[in-house]
Structure 1
Amino acid sequence: MSITGKVALVTGAGQGIGRAIALRLAKDGANIVIADLNEDEARAVAEEVRAIGRKATSFRADVSIRDEVYAAIDHAEKELGGFDIIVNNAGIANVQPLSEVTPEEVDRILKINVQGVLWGIQAAAKKFKERRVKGKIISASSIAGHEGFAMLGIYSATKFAVRALTQAAAKEFASDGITVNAYCPGVVGTDMWVEIDKRFAELTGAEVGATYKKYVDGIALGRAETPEDVAAFVSYLAGPDSDYMTGQAPLIDGGMVYR
């Protein structure tokens, strides 16, 4: 059993973890919709998927806008002939002391990290039901969804919220055969962590690179996580071997947070 021939939509797939997920799902047999704000990056990843030998299409979508998420899923069905898997991967970070977080910062991160996941869950479930598909809904949480981190309080709150949405949606959609799970990476060597590290340097006076090194040094397996590490686990969640799993948000962090 495999995901060969399934249609998967991955948000924020123009780079980083999202790109790695799209490529891994393609290698495992799925046809892919690359949904991203950056059209050039999305098209480039779609070309990489085609080079693997799978069908691919790109779609510009801002996940904070409900109609655009619904449109992306309609695009998947129209262009690739089906819809079986959504990976709500798009997200942003916010590094700021809780005492200084502004209403504008809170509004922005909630719209992308929480509402963006909600719209993805909502739109995917609706389409799965219409198509009578026992689909897979997979969303990005984080180690910060299991433990609140200093200077990352609002980000942590959004990732805790993803876990709550995952649990609630799993209960609501189980009778339709739809499974809903999340994945919780740790310190992944992507552009997001470059920006997090720079922001920590600004706020704490640490040297650039020092915060990243501190967190990596605390990983039991002795190295930073790669996007491919995350993608391998997401592929499991997308495939039939996880059919009896729902409402869960496992940690995949190399040994940082233990639950």
Structure 2
Amino acid sequence: MSISGKVALITGSAQGIGRGIALRLAKDGADIALVDLKQDKLDAVAKEIEALGRKATTFIADISDRDQVYAAIDHAEKELGGFDIMVNNAGIAQVKALADVTPEEVERIFKINVNGVLWGIQAAAAKFIARKQKGKIISASSIAGHDGFAMIGVYSATKFAVRGLTQAAAREYASAGITVNAYCPGVVDTDMWGEIDDGFSKITGAAQGETFKQYCAGIALGRPELPEDVAAFVSYLAGPDSDYMTGQAVLIDGGMVYR
């Protein structure tokens, strides 16, 4: 069994982990709705998906806006003829000492990393129920959703919140045949980690690349994580082999945080 013929929507899919997930699910046979804020990059990923022989559609949406998330799912259903898998991947990072974080910064990161996931869960579940079908909801947490890390404390708080939403939603939607799980990556070699590294450099004075190198030194498997590593696990969560799994936020980090 596979996800062949299913329709998956991935937020934050213009680059990085989201792009990796989109390409993997397309390789596994799904048609893909790509959602992000950058049309040119979305178009490039859409072409990659179409080259794999699958359908792709793009939609510009700010996931912190509830109405835009609902509209994105409506678009996916209309353009691709169904809706089966929701991947709440989009998010932002923040590197700052807790003592220095401003109310405006807290509001922004929570609107995207927490509210955006909540709206995605809400909208996807509503669509599955309206279509009278089972569905998969998969959201991005992090190793920072299991351990609080210094200088990314507010980011960690948002990822802990994703775990809470995942557990609550799993209980609320189980009777409708909807599973809700999360993936928790570690140090992934993407542009976001480049931004995190730059943020640490400004605070600690470390040379650019040094913080990334230090974190990678703590990975048991001995290398940075790639988007493809995350995508392989999301593929499992999206497919039938995970049908008896719900409410979980699983570490996929090469061996950094152990539970």
Corresponding position of 1:53: 53
Q: Distance in 2 between matches of 1:133 and 1:96?
A: 43
Give 1:189's aligned residue. 189
Q: How many residues align?
A: 259
Deviation, 1:43, is: 1.3
Partners of 2:168 and 2:221 in 1: CA distance? 33
**Structure 2 equivalent of residue 115 of structure 1:** 115
Correspondences of 1:1-259 after superposition (within 5 Å): 1-259=1-259
Structural RMSD (CA) = 0.4
What runs of 5+ residues in structure 2 fail to find an aligned partner? none
Q: Distance in 2 between matches of 1:21 and 1:252?
A: 14
Shift of 1:39: 1.0
Matches of 1:76 and 1:208 in 2, distance apart? 40
TM-score (normalizing by structure 1): 1.00
Once the two structures are superposed, residues 115-134 of structure 1 have per-residue CA deviations (whole angstroms, 9 ceiling, x without a partner) of 00000000000000000111
Q: Within 2, Cα distance between the matches of 1:74 and 1:43?
A: 19
Residue-by-residue CA offset, 1:91-111 (whole Å, 9 max, x unaligned): 000100000000111000000
The whole-number CA distance in structure 2 between the counterparts of 1:127 and 1:240 is 19
Alignment partner of 2:34: what SS? Answer: strand
Q: Secondary structure at the match of 1:179?
A: strand
CA distance in 2, matches of 1:46, 1:104: 34
Q: Which amino acid aligns with 2:48?
A: E
Q: Distance in 2 between matches of 1:37 and 1:55?
A: 20
Kindly provide the CA deviation profile for residues 20-55 of structure 1, in whole angstroms up to 9, marking residues without a partner as x: 000000000000000001111111111110000001
Deviations 1:153-186 (A, max 9, x none): 0000000000000000000000000000000000
Q: Distance in 2 between matches of 1:133 and 1:185?
A: 29
Distance 1:207 1:175 in 2: 52
- Aligned mates of 1:193, 1:113 — CA distance in 2: 16
**1:188-245 Cα distance to aligned partner (Å, 9 max, x none):** 0000000100110000111111100000000000000000000000000000000000
- TM norm structure 2: 1.00
Letter in 2 for 1:55: K
Q: Distance in 1 between matches of 2:42 and 2:68?
A: 15
- 1-structure distance, mates of 2:46, 2:59: 10
For residue 221 of structure 1, give the secondary structure of its aligned residue in structure 2: coil
Segments of 4+ moved more than 3 angstroms: none
1:37 corresponds to which letter in structure 2?
L
Deviation of the 1:4 alpha carbon: 0.3
- Quick check: 42-51 or 230-239, which moved more? 42-51
Query: Structure 1: how far apart are the matches of 2:77 and 2:221?
Result: 41
